[in-house]
Amino acid sequence: MPDTVYAPGRIEEQIEELEESFLEDTGDMPPIFGRCPVCKKPLFPRDRFTGEPKAPPVGTGYESRAKCSGCGAIICYAGNGNWRVLEDSDLTDGDREADARLP
C-alpha cells in the first residue's frame, strides 16, 4: 500500500470498501480486529500464510506482533480486539540477539 495520507473521510470510505469487499468474498461481516493504540487506525490483520482476515494468536512473541500501517508503531495483540504498544518486557532473548545483529 502506498504511503499516502488521506483525509479522515477518505479513511472511513476505504474501511467501508474493505468491509464490502470482504462481505462479497466470504458472505460474512468482518470480525472486529480493533484499532491501533497510538493512532486509532482500524486494523485488518491477515493470516500471513493464507492472507485471510484473522487476528494473530495472543502471547506468542513474534507471531502476536504487527506494525501499524498508519503510524508505524510496533504493537502486539492482547486478544478480544485489543492491541498495545510493544514494550521491552515483551522481547525475548532471541529478539534481543536479533536486534543486536542489525546494523
Does position 69 have pLDDT exceeding 80, yes or no?
yes
Give the model's pLDDT for residue 1: 46
Average pLDDT of span 68-94: 86
DSSP β-bridge partners for residue 66 = 75
* Mean pLDDT, the chain, whole residue set: 75
Alpha helices in 27-84 (DSSP H): none
Q: CA geometry: angle at 71 spanning 54 and 2, to 5°?
A: 80
